[in-house]
Structure 1
């Protein structure tokens, strides 16, 4: 059957070669070619795309890289843009003339250079297919002019938004986990499902320019071959998959070449869409073919010109060539349909790996298509509802989970009638009822609103926060409470959900959203946090360090990744062993802590030679941690010492506000040994107990923390206490007997910082969207303590159900309804006759009328309010409905003829649905009176007797039917008059 249609269409001049007579061809080429006007100083030329040159391969080559010469003239040379970018920029600004004098384009290349850019950029669909240009005496083009656009600028800008929205709708079929091959497949199937070949207008010669564009294929959903190809290229380029148009002038046809895994393949979306359009059917005969296969006797492509060769036969034996339904990716699996000849069933199948060997039957349907063998079961993916729908021969189903499906609609069928086509469009189940699958003209489709699911809530789902130390392994959250059949996906900061958890291996704080989907339930969404702390690095403390008396410490070389914390300008004048401090900075500073205050022994030795420092050199103070080495650290304040006492500079300040950047809040700084001045070696080291149980309030100074007698703050007393937690500061112990005992510096003590009263202010730190939850952060004004609260998804607000629905006008062939208006709301009105949808309309008004209806017929009208948000429709939870009947038709009075003395016979045409008729008569200029009521709707004649000679009698009739014990009347008939002579 398919080959029959294909052959028929080639003869008619559609997707294949058009019938051309040689003389006509020559004449057309002469008349439709470019026009030239020349003079000794240059001239003009032009090119217009026609049906005869549309598929010239020269117009589809990739644009040549051209750059403005340094000495070029005009704005183009000064712009500094390559030719392709420059032309695109000008066309996007709706320029009607473009200065190209700087690009060195010859007259003979001007037309092809221009159209190569148009055909490489489907987003320029709004530019007319003609161009004029001027060239100078050297034959070089200076200007394109008389550039035209297909609509007004405001309309084009609206169309650009429509194209972008339509492309984004197609991208809802794509999952981030898909390979390039899989993405190319689902976009191929989406286009075949949602675009119809513009066969009707092709046959009568009225194909509009838009049908040759991506806009036609994606927005108007009517296109011819180059429209399909531009749309496919447009979407694949958005996915980062190289895709180009290929044409054959002899075939009068365009298709695509796409690069998958470094190899090029042919894809002909057009020839995979049957003619006439059969909704739901998706062929895969022309998907990812090599040059050899697409040109064989079964595929019949020839004489194309492309910039690539397709030599790979990787997908030559792919199983999809026998599949005539769309491939739908849902909940981590691939779904498609196939006829099982053994069991004579239509099967919905699934695979976890598209090219894997495992194939599982999800459900089988035996309600097939009578005597017609083969498969007419078609699938469609409704991204808005995240559901797959499919048809059997008699019903439409929704896939509920991986093992069963629910019937959602069963249309009324006449004898030997089956569903031979199915898809979803505009929230409607669209289906084709027929006695035969053969399509010889445009299908007459029927529709029914997609039934909304009554979804319950998922409960008992949770995921705990996780805190771990970096170990080089990925960390994962554990979602608890799921059931068999649940589908769990995860999203990181970008809000894009996928089957794999985001990469969480390096140290840091990660927010992970998770979503649980369960059949018959609303998706559950939650969030968990993973904190990966930096690990302690492994290192060897430097040993064997020596320094010569009088030498600066900075001249002592440390092992790699170690740095002096002690002042590198320090010198010593006495021999011996001193303690200095170094810092270790790991190479992987993201995942490992920087370790400070590492004590190392440095031996001060005597230098042999004339450069030994004299005794007059000033000796530096004993070692202390360095100053100015770490941003944010404040030099400790040296306390006043008792008379005769000797002290050393204190340790760096570690206030919560200026803590070591490598130490998280609340984590103690590494403790360091207290220091004693080497010159005090003759004095005794006093015994003391470091202060314990110290505490202070957030917002106060360190000076507010009282120390025991003998201890003074070495950390600056003006240090402000900030966040709650335990922090290490430094004190100095000054003994009472400073002649006998040395003072001890750099004694670490812990101070517990407490906020006396939290006063929180809130700030939305991440706004909620429809796909990602938000976050509100609460921060204490006193201590800086912070916590976060999750903000629910920004779900669109559904409108309230329609109220006040009523019938406002009735006629024999129309019904008008009205209801109460709600601002900012639109309405979907659906008229039913029994269970079948008669008509569907959309309006932003609170009145809607249906016309061209049957007379005396019963109908039910349902109206649902909805809001349009980001291109989607969000409907009220309930619909309003009212029943109504059209009026009886107007009776046609056929004749009034005399039937003997004083008698007249009145005849009329039967009115459909009539239960009877009432006949009225008037005499002369009097009033009408009812003379007869007929109780049978099939009666079409009545004889009136007793009419008097010389009188004029006028007759009229109206039909009626009984409803609820009352009569409903049709309009009065025309009037006929009879005079008895």
Structure 2
């Protein structure tokens, strides 16, 4: 199901003489032509945040508050929502201006409550510790990438990794949901968190990336450049939720919003966004649009589940598919380099790539009613997590597999 994606309406900066109204940011290029050096001011703000400063002098950039208010909102919005690794920025800022000329002379920077003390002192040690943990988690994600992969394959494998390891949340009490920390360390995020995390991974593998936002949708996602063309990728909307109880679905990965033209995104109910440069339709109707399994790279091949069974490809982008194991299965989940769990006949099966055989290793009838439905599994942290829908609700549990993968 499509969920209600909430992007933060954070622009509630307090001026010394007035209160700035709340609002969603837009790209600087989309507002009226600016007379001030807003790009220079934005770089100064970013550098100030990187140095943990609480304010920045912008008097040299000729920023007029009275005539270029939209640019101010846009600039601060891009800094807070679209700058990788500035996870510690806050939801408020304030400006000091020359009352006779309306020139902005100083911006006082906001920091997230988790990274500042009650007296306003910045928790530098905590920020640095979080950054170290974040770098480690990002490097873990990048282990899924092989140098021999094409751009499409790198983009796909990282798209699938984020969907598998992150659950969507719109909980306003969860401040981490807005940043890459929510994705990589807390494993819960909203569209801002997903978009920032994917942007970081794309930058790491050398794929150009941008942010896309829709004020009316209250939503954001990414564009990436494959070859010479730009394509939309909405990782958030490719992380499906269960329509019955609006919960995250273990192990399921949609690809409806992966490498789409602007026209295709409009067909998937995206609206109120700039459609300018994503005109390429090469991937709009690729086979993966109908694949709800994660793609796994195994010994130079790509493995995934279709309605026909466990399927293999030499390349994601071209060539034919081969069905290795014909089964009306679902929810393929990797156990180790050569073995995968999947659901079939209300049981969990273990499939071996080496032998091309599968055997049932767990049955719902051992614990649950005959009317239940086993519909979700995922393997992480050396445990197999599963969800059974029984008597109108989901029941979640976990099993620690033996060394041979048997449950």
Classify the TM-score, shorter chain: 0.7 to 0.9
CA offsets 1:8-39 (integer angstroms, 9 cap, x no match): x5xxxx1389xxxxxxxxxx99xx8655555x
In structure 1, distance between residues paired with 2:20 and 2:199: 25
In structure 2, distance between residues paired with 1:288 and 1:98: 39
Q: CA deviation at 1:413?
A: 4.5
After TM superposition, list the pairs within 5 Å mapping 1:205-604 onto structure 2. 206-275=172-241, 276-296=247-267, 299-305=268-274, 308-340=276-308, 347-365=309-327, 377-381=330-334, 385-393=336-344, 394-401=347-354, 403-405=356-358, 412-414=366-368, 415-435=370-390, 443-453=394-404
1:101–1:142 CA contact under 8 A, matched in 2: yes
Q: Which residue of structure 2 lines up, in the alignment, with residue 106 of structure 1? A: 64
What secondary structure sits across from 1:211 in the alignment? helix
In structure 2, the CA distance between the partners of 1:174 and 1:65, relative to structure 1 (3 Å rule), is farther
Q: CA deviation at 1:146?
A: 4.9
Q: CA deviation at 1:435?
A: 4.9
Q: Which residue of structure 2 lines up, in the alignment, with residue 145 of structure 1? A: 108
In structure 1, distance between residues paired with 2:306 and 2:221: 27
Answering whether residue 145 of structure 2 is matched by residue 179 of structure 1, we say no
CA offsets 1:136-177 (integer angstroms, 9 cap, x no match): 233222211253233232322222122222212211211111
Number of residue-to-residue matches in the alignment: 384
Structure 1, unaligned runs of 5 or more: 18-27, 39-44, 70-80, 341-346, 369-374, 455-834, 837-981
In structure 2, distance between residues paired with 1:98 and 1:406: 63
In structure 2, the CA distance between the partners of 1:351 and 1:133, relative to structure 1 (3 Å rule), is same
In structure 2, the CA distance between the partners of 1:316 and 1:87, relative to structure 1 (3 Å rule), is same
In structure 2, the CA distance between the partners of 1:61 and 1:225, relative to structure 1 (3 Å rule), is farther
Structure 2, unaligned runs of 5 or more: 116-122, 242-246
What secondary structure sits across from 2:52 in the alignment? coil
1:396–1:410 CA contact under 8 A, matched in 2: no
Q: Which residue of structure 2 lines up, in the alignment, with residue 672 of structure 1? A: none
Q: CA deviation at 1:193?
A: 1.0
2:12–2:92 CA contact under 8 A, matched in 1: no
Q: Which residue of structure 1 lines up, in the alignment, with residue 79 of structure 2? A: 117
2:6–2:190 CA contact under 8 A, matched in 1: no
What secondary structure sits across from 2:318 in the alignment? coil
In structure 2, the CA distance between the partners of 1:357 and 1:339, relative to structure 1 (3 Å rule), is same
TM-score (norm. length: structure 1): 0.36
What secondary structure sits across from 1:173 in the alignment? coil
Q: Which residue of structure 2 lines up, in the alignment, with residue 135 of structure 1? A: 97
In structure 2, distance between residues paired with 1:33 and 1:124: 18
1:65–1:84 CA contact under 8 A, matched in 2: no
In structure 2, distance between residues paired with 1:59 and 1:196: 31
In structure 1, distance between residues paired with 2:238 and 2:37: 43
What secondary structure sits across from 1:424 in the alignment? strand
Q: CA deviation at 1:379?
A: 2.5
Q: 2:46 aligns with which of 78, 85, 88?
A: 88
In structure 2, distance between residues paired with 1:451 and 1:177: 33
Q: Which structure is higher in RCO with an 8 Å CA cutoff and minimum separation 6?
A: 2
What secondary structure sits across from 1:119 in the alignment? helix
TM-score (norm. length: structure 2): 0.83
Q: 2:5 aligns with which of 9, 15, 24?
A: 15
What secondary structure sits across from 1:295 in the alignment? helix
In structure 2, distance between residues paired with 1:332 and 1:313: 27
What secondary structure sits across from 1:444 in the alignment? strand
Q: Which residue of structure 2 lines up, in the alignment, with residue 512 of structure 1? A: none
In structure 2, the CA distance between the partners of 1:272 and 1:251, relative to structure 1 (3 Å rule), is same
More helix by share: 2
In structure 2, distance between residues paired with 1:388 and 1:233: 31
Larger radius of gyration: 1
Q: CA deviation at 1:453?
A: 4.7
CA offsets 1:37-80 (integer angstroms, 9 cap, x no match): 55xxxxxx6657x6xx24x3247979x999989xxxxxxxxxxx
CA offsets 1:379-430 (integer angstroms, 9 cap, x no match): 2346xx5345221231241534273456665563532444311111222111
